[in-house]
Amino acid sequence: MPAMVRSRAGSAVSFPFVSHPTLGQPPRSLEAGFPAAAARLRAQRASIAARALEAAVDADPSIRRRYSQAALRGLLGDAEVLVDRLALCVAGDDPFFLAEFADQSATVFRRQKVAVMDVIGLLEGIRATARGALSDDEAASAGRGIDAAVAVYKRYHNIRGDAREWNPTTSKLYKGI
């Protein structure tokens, strides 16, 4: 076992084999990818989110029936947040930011009675809409982030309690949940 080493102040104790005091990875860089493209996404956040919501409604017209106008405005705000997280993914060329947000927000969407497939539709609308503001390499980075988030949301889609219409037989099987 390695011997503990006292610091010069005599109060802190550390091990010589530990490279970082928190024993974690270095912080994720937001300069490693495409920070200029991320700035363009943030500048066009409102228009990208609005067009993404329109694309999601065009892909699934039942969204207009299932959500009130206030809920649709809430989805528009959620789409803007998704664009912000996508900008972080593009800036760092790392899908972590959107995938982690998807993992943390899936339960919030379930509580608000928003179907996870509708959020996936928003993400696909963002993918189609953001291509106009990004080059090919930047769009590939954005695509990796969106793919990671869609994979997380699909995992939550399979859990009972999602705000979607269920088969009546399945509903009888899972009646208690």
Round to whole Å and give the CA distance between 117 and 121. 6
- Dump pLDDT digits (tens) for 111-163: 888 888 999 999 999 999 999 899 999 999 999 999 999 999 998 887 765 65
pTM of the model: 0.77
Assess contact for 127 and 142: CB atoms under 8 A. yes
Contact yes or no for 94/32 (Cβ under 8 A): yes
Q: Which fold has domain 35-163?
A: Globin-like (1.10.490)
**pLDDT, tens digit, 9 for 90 and up, residues 61-103:** 999 998 999 999 999 999 999 999 999 999 999 999 999 999 9
Domain boundaries along the sequence of the chain? 35-163
